[in-house]
């Protein structure tokens, strides 16, 4: 990707609150598509988001968001960015439709247009008749939808979502992820998804940034993270996998027992896989599935965190 195609570029950005370092020398490039921002509590995710929005002054470094400097053009940035905060926040005494209309007007949409757009976006977000109720009476899931609507009502180029699926039931979670995908894939929005929920990242993200103790531990495409360090297959058996594993070892096949019913064949040679089928026939094992092995994002996440703990105790 060319430098000008990156929507967010941070170079050596640091943020200190007194003696506490919230961000340290963050170097980051975020392009189009959906980028997952992962990190444990206190990793600096929210601070990073506030830096991107120009809400907090950085202590060192420089950065550009959508071609605007984060220090000098905060308003221009916020004109083009939509933000869904993690906090349970709402504007008291206003209904959802009034809240979204207000958000649209604060972003510069004219009054009548803002109302029309608010209804349209609330339809998109799945808030139906309840949109006329005060937001203070909403469940957590409904407030998540409302915050999402507020984030996208002004048609931003970059959407920053902080824990968008927390508090949602499985169906609502699927719907929310699908909406995010529609925005990114169909309408070309850049989405920065900050979350604790690794399956969400696995399901929809193109890039993953792992933040720990204010430092970027990893920034790679999900595709490359999904590729195992060495090519391999995962073989899932119906019964115990041990007899098949023992047979394979006697044949000199590079196998490793993963758990009671799964073994890993460390090769991408289809001929060796063919031999394993023969072994299954001989040992009476039933193979349930064969899949190309992937690195577990969770494993990578934990590994990165562990590294950061050792590196910066």
Partner 1 sequence: MPIHDLGYRPWEGRTTSPWTRWMPITQSGVKIAWQNAWMRRLLWAAWLPAFYFALGFFLYEQWLKRTADWITERLVAQNLIQPQEAEDSFKPLLTRALAGEAVEKLPFAQRAMVRMALATAQPQIDRLLREGRRQLDEMLPGVPKTLDRHTIWCWLMGMFFRYPQGMVMMLLVGMLAPPLAARDVSSKAFLLYFSRPIGWGDYLLGKLGVLWVYLGIISVGPALALYLFGVLLSPSLTVLEHTWDIPLRIAAATVVLVTPTSILALAFSSLTSRSWAAGFAWFAVWFFGYIGYQVIWLRTEWAERWDPSFSAASTEHWSLISFYHVLRTVQGWIFGLESKMVLVQASAAVLVALTAVSLVVLSRRISAPIRQ
Would you tell me which residues interact with partner 1 (CB under 8 A)?
Answer: 50, 53, 55-56, 75-76, 78-79, 81-83, 85, 87-94, 98-99, 102-103, 105-111, 113, 117, 120-121, 123-124, 128, 136, 147, 150, 152, 154-155, 179, 182-183, 186-187
Closer CB to partner 1, 79 or 236, in the complex: 79
- Nearest-approach distance from CB 156 to partner 1, in angstroms: 10
- CB distance 139 to 169 below 8 Å: no
- Nearest-approach distance from CB 221 to partner 1, in angstroms: 25
CA distance linking residue 253 with residue 275, whole number of Å:
9
- Nearest-approach distance from CB 306 to partner 1, in angstroms: 29
- Nearest-approach distance from CB 310 to partner 1, in angstroms: 29
Closer CB to partner 1, 12 or 111, in the complex: 111
Closer CB to partner 1, 4 or 87, in the complex: 87
**Burial group, residue 115, by CB count within 10 angstroms (0-12, 13-18, 19+):** middle
- Nearest-approach distance from CB 204 to partner 1, in angstroms: 16
CA distance linking residue 147 with residue 149, whole number of Å:
5
Closer CB to partner 1, 151 or 248, in the complex: 151
Closer CB to partner 1, 136 or 311, in the complex: 136
- Nearest-approach distance from CB 174 to partner 1, in angstroms: 15
DSSP 3-state helix, strand, coil percentages of the chain (rounded to 5)?
A: 40, 25, 30
Q: What is the DSSP string of 189-250?
A: -EEEEEES-HHHHHHH-SEEEEEETTEEEEEEEHHHHHS-SS--EEEEESS-SHHHHHHHHH
- CB distance 189 to 19 below 8 Å: no
CA distance linking residue 308 with residue 313, whole number of Å:
8
Which helix (H) or strand (E) segment holds residue 258: the answer is strand 255-259
Closer CB to partner 1, 117 or 217, in the complex: 117
């Amino acid at each position: 990707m060319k430098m000008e195609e990156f929507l967010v570029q941070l170079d050596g950005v640091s943020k200190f609150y007194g003696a506490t370092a919230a961000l340290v020398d963050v170097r980051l490039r975020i392009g189009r598509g959906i980028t997952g921002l992962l990190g444990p509590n206190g990793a600096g995710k929210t601070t990073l988001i506030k830096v991107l929005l120009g809400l907090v002054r950085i202590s060192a470094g420089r950065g550009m968001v959508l071609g605007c400097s984060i220090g000098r053009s905060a308003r221009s940035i916020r004109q083009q960015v939509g933000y869904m905060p993690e906090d349970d926040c709402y504007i008291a005494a206003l209904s959802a439709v009034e809240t979204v209309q207000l958000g649209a007007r604060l972003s510069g949409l004219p009054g009548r247009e803002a109302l029309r757009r608010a209804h349209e976006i609330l339809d998109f977000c799945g808030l139906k008749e309840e949109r006329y109720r005060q937001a203070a009476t909403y469940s957590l899931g409904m407030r998540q939808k409302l915050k999402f609507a507020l984030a996208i009502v002004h048609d931003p180029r970059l959407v920053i979502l902080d824990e968008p699926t927390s508090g949602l039931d499985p169906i609502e979670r699927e719907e929310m992820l699908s909406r995010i995908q529609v925005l990114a894939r169909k309408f070309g929005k850049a989405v920065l998804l900050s979350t604790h929920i690794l399956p969400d990242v696995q399901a929809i993200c193109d890039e993953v940034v792992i933040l720990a103790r204010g430092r970027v531990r990893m920034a790679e495409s999900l595709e490359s993270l999904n590729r195992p360090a060495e090519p391999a297959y995962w073989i899932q058996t119906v019964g115990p996998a041990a007899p098949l594993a023992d047979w394979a070892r006697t044949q000199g096949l590079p196998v490793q027992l993963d758990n009671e019913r799964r073994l890993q064949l460390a090769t991408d040679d289809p001929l060796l896989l063919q031999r394993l089928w023969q072994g299954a026939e001989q040992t009476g094992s039933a193979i349930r599935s064969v899949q190309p092995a992937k690195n577990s994002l969770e494993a990578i996440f934990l590994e990165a965190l562990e590294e950061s703990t050792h590196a910066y105790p």
